[in-house]
């Protein structure tokens, strides 16, 4: 009986990429690995580091095991973050409380936060990477959002999105606590 040869990492990447109808260019954008490097990896001309395979797995939205094992169907993501493991940060003299809802594996891709602003609390940020966007849903209270030359007052039930590749600020202008769900979406296209 002939030994069965285990599929190679490059072959697995190419198979999953094609199954998802992604071009090398799109995968390069999503993973942060250059198109030229991806082409060499898929052709089995280079042996990628584990860190590089991890970045490619993140870009494909699969588990790294799917790329290393080559076995059958891709595993489907189903992650639960328990409230007692959520990272929390206090800023602005304890007037702003941030809970990081998204797992560390999503950093600089899509990040999700629950923000709580005490009266007068503000979160001021410098510009993010080009074309990065923030999406806010106001759960309670009233805030003023400023991004570059634009400014708006939003309140409970409102939704706002804006490019945050400029200086920007969220400030509680109401008389009560404000709670906001925030999603930050990074565009990696122009990073390199």
What's the CA angle centered on 155, arms 151 and 159, to 5 degrees?
75
Return the pLDDT at 75: 60
Q: With contact defined as beta carbons under 8 Å apart, do 156 and 181 qualify?
A: no
Exposed / middle / buried, residue 186 (Cβ in 10 Å: 0-12, 13-18, 19+)? buried
Does the pTM surpass 0.95? The reply is no
Segment 73-110, tens digit of pLDDT? 556 667 788 888 888 888 766 799 999 998 776 777 78
Query: Of 136, 131, 126, whose CA–CA distance to 178 is shortest?
Result: 136
Give the pLDDT confidence of 113-149 residue by residue, as tens digits. 999 999 999 999 999 888 899 999 999 999 999 999 9
**pLDDT averaged over every residue in the chain:** 86
Pick the more confident residue, 93 or 52. 52
Cα–Cα distance for residue pair 150/52, rounded to 1 Å: 39
92, 101, 111, 160, 161 from 182: Cα distances, Å: 18, 10, 8, 10, 10
Asked if residues 118 and 67 have their Cβ atoms less than 8 Å apart, the reply is: no
Share of the chain above pLDDT 90, in %: 50
pLDDT at 69: 75
Q: What string of H, E and C letters represents the secondary structure of 99-120?
A: EECCCHHHCCCEEEEEEEECCC
Provide the residue count of the chain. 192
Domains and CATH numbers, the chain: 9-69 (1.10.260.40), 83-185 (2.60.120.10)
The CA-based dihedral angle spanning residues 55, 56, 60, 61, taken in that order and rounded to the nearest 10 degrees: -30
Give the list of residues 6+ apart from residue 5 with CB closer than 8 angstroms, or none: none
The Cα–Cα gap between 64 and 169 comes to 37
CA max distance for the chain:
77
The Cα–Cα gap between 179 and 140 comes to 5
């Amino acid at each position: 009986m002939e030994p069965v040869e285990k599929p190679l990492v490059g072959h697995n990447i190419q198979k999953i990429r094609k199954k998802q109808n992604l071009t090398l260019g799109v995968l390069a954008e999503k993973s942060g690995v250059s198109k030229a490097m991806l082409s060499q990896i898929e052709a089995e001309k280079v042996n990628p580091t584990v860190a590089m395979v991890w970045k490619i797995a993140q870009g494909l939205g699969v588990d790294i095991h799917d790329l290393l094992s080559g076995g059958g169907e891709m595993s489907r993501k189903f992650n639960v973050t328990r409230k007692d493991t959520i990272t929390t940060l206090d800023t602005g003299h304890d007037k702003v409380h941030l809970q990081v809802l998204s797992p560390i594996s999503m950093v600089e891709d899509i990040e999700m936060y629950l923000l709580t602003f005490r009266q007068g609390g503000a979160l001021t940020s410098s510009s993010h990477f080009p074309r990065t966007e923030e999406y806010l849903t106001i759960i309670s209270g009233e805030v003023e959002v400023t991004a570059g030359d634009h400014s708006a007052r939003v309140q409970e039930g409102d939704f706002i999105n804006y490019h945050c590749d400029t200086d920007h600020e969220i400030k509680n202008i109401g008389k009560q606590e404000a709670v906001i769900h925030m999603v930050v979406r990074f565009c990696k296209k122009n990073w390199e």
